[in-house]
Structure 1
């Protein structure tokens, strides 16, 4: 590979790009990665990690109230957004440093510039310098989509939510997906009045209907407003600094912040991919095969930029498979079957495998087992919020094809249970497992 400056040039130092870079370098490849912002990507810098820290912070609102029922003399507490914000951003800085150090320790050259593809083996940096590589890996991720209508530029996205100067008293969140519902729960617990606007009739399309219906019910009980079947018409800024939002089918609403959580778009614009023959789909995602290879033999792509499954662990798996296949002599492909998912709402949801509707459509005969209960902690706290666990089984073989949960710590519980679903175990295997009492998780082996 002496004809090239590098064996591998990676554009984007997010979850997929850093894994591919580090592992390829460990195999002996000469690797460089270009990153125009910060090492760590969406998840570490402006996504799942800082968001989960906000979720932890939001949980204290209910925990402090509940503590009184458990004998603790808890005074009225005041929430300081600036303290949490700054502590979260400081932890992001720490992680950015660790990711950078990890790459450098493995011999990866980090280039803090924007890079564009100018040939099958050529990359041009923002400084004008041109470098060559045997392989080029596109791992630039995606960015939040903002609808185009008058005044849409007055809103923010999840990117900016972590940097707000002050906590808005009234927040309008656009969208019905997991980002919208997570931030709705966060802001609501912090004391903001939250309104969720969705253009369809349901939240969390694609999730099991029982779970999303339960979350909607609980969210409304907690004071979150929902406006369905509505489109944005206009946003204007008033003299008092507030935003006046005009919606279809509803009266105008006055808020302090509009947050768009309306999907994510692959970051391929201006990257030069189409000019060198890389095929993109109608959303701008890089088309790749099972080995992450694009229509140009020397150019590959992993992570959100491919729009296959926009999840951090999937991007990491894809980056690992890419490095193992091209440089490690251990070719393999990512298995996308039975990927567990979670929504860190209040309360959180988690699921793996087929929903009840999917199973009925694909299998015909299904058996459904459920447990609808109040967690022990909620009972003593006087909180009426109920958890719901559902097991979806093949009606003939009783093989577990889906598990779906909403309730405290649901994602933590599901992770281990997802192994059983992935392994193809039956309902009988769950029934034969002795319950771990008293826990919420024991409901999984007591389902009727």
Structure 2
């Protein structure tokens, strides 16, 4: 007889979903342990607070546009303290909502770190031990900071929501979506921003044409994007943080933020001693059912380093609960997962990029780049929207869709449904456009811009 049918370690989106479904719909006796705040990275120090900062950073441009449209509108100084207070209250509300959801589902919550003692036993930091039938690891990931001299002077995305004050000059180190988003956020809030990335171009992995459009817009807005260079050393200086680049450059900033990737939180849980496989990056190795090499231990979400997106973790957690506790064998589907980068402008993507699709036979590229009506009228003539479809020439199946522009995240969610269903270019063509919208270009591009 076990104390619990399921013990979840980690109170992020994937762990919470698994616990709730297993308890409320699977009839299991479930407990969940979380050593930090309920809600995990996404809710507390990731997607949600970041998106609210995106909204805040867009307001000056919206006010400027309002003047062009005839409104007597002005924008004053940004009050970081006021915004941060509102943000803290919203995160408190969301955390309480997560807790109430678990309690309503009958899940027992332990606000403590938990480790695995053996395949059927867990221990809390206060020494309590429980016998459990199944264990689910959902401990997420953490920011990675390279070992460079002076690294302790830098912050990561975790600390960005708790700054005492906004800097005047900021360096964002990294070229992924987190780095790109925070560069745009800080710039929108009035900070002088420089990005430093060791690679040839930021947003690696996204369609080249799409990311080039984003970079061009960021540069025109005043963000200094420096590629092919990395930080060699950080030092405290009288006027801020002195940054020495690997190219010999020397610059000074008030804040240095590292966004150089994330690593799975698998250490110190007692897993390796039990025979649970751990990969080179620290990821927990699981099969298509999210099961580890130890049959009673499962793992979902970023700690498995499959697709590190909140909705994917939720799907994995739900599939686990369906399989183990509801008698409905379910595998999480990792194919054609859409994503969005909340830069300014936004980038939305689903399916194959042009570069990735080239190796699968001849493809047709349908691409339209144009100035959007709203910002053009407001005098922002440099703004561009990109609509792009990657199409298999033989079957005419749409292999990928890439959008850059206002609302790209919202649009790609809808386009992803069609791509996921296997839509062909003819399906897009016979769909009547909604006019005037930027998204109508997705169904009005008749001739390929190139065949590769």
2:303 to 291, 302, 305: 305
Using the TM superposition, give the Cα deviation of residue 80 of structure 1 relative to its aligned residue in structure 2, in angstroms. Answer: 1.1
Using the TM superposition, give the Cα deviation of residue 76 of structure 1 relative to its aligned residue in structure 2, in angstroms. Answer: 4.1
- Matches of residues 186-197 of structure 1 in structure 2 within 5 Å? 186-197=185-196
What's the counterpart of residue 428 of structure 2? 430
What's the counterpart of residue 374 of structure 1? 371
Instruction: Say whether 1:293 aligns with 2:291.
Output: yes
What's the counterpart of residue 94 of structure 2? 95
What's the counterpart of residue 184 of structure 1? 183
1:405 to 403, 406, 423: 403
What's the counterpart of residue 364 of structure 1? 361
CA distance in 1, matches of 2:344, 2:27: 46
Using the TM superposition, give the Cα deviation of residue 75 of structure 1 relative to its aligned residue in structure 2, in angstroms. Answer: 2.4
- Matches of residues 275-290 of structure 1 in structure 2 within 5 Å? 275-290=273-288
CA distance in 2, matches of 1:222, 1:195: 12
Using the TM superposition, give the Cα deviation of residue 231 of structure 1 relative to its aligned residue in structure 2, in angstroms. Answer: 2.2
- Matches of residues 40-439 of structure 1 in structure 2 within 5 Å? 40-240=39-239, 242-361=240-359, 363-384=360-381, 385-439=383-437
Deviations 1:201-250 (A, max 9, x none): 1111110000111111111111111221212221111234x100111114
Using the TM superposition, give the Cα deviation of residue 428 of structure 1 relative to its aligned residue in structure 2, in angstroms. Answer: 0.8
- Does the 8 A contact of 1:435 with 1:446 survive in 2? yes
- Does the 8 A contact of 1:230 with 1:250 survive in 2? no
Structure 1, unaligned runs of 5 or more: none
Deviates more, 1:306-315 or 1:76-85: 76-85
CA distance in 2, matches of 1:250, 1:318: 46
User: Matched residue pairs, number?
Assistant: 444
What's the counterpart of residue 449 of structure 2? none
Using the TM superposition, give the Cα deviation of residue 74 of structure 1 relative to its aligned residue in structure 2, in angstroms. Answer: 1.1
Using the TM superposition, give the Cα deviation of residue 101 of structure 1 relative to its aligned residue in structure 2, in angstroms. Answer: 0.3
CA distance in 1, matches of 2:201, 2:75: 36
Which of structure 1's runs of 4+ aligned residues deviate more than 4 A?
A: none
- Does the 8 A contact of 1:25 with 1:31 survive in 2? yes
Deviations 1:123-143 (A, max 9, x none): 111001111100000000000
Q: Secondary structure at the match of 1:416?
A: helix
CA distance in 1, matches of 2:5, 2:262: 31
CA distance in 1, matches of 2:304, 2:179: 22
- Does the 8 A contact of 2:64 with 2:74 survive in 1? no
CA distance in 1, matches of 2:230, 2:196: 8
Structure 2, unaligned runs of 5 or more: 447-452
- Does the 8 A contact of 1:318 with 1:334 survive in 2? yes
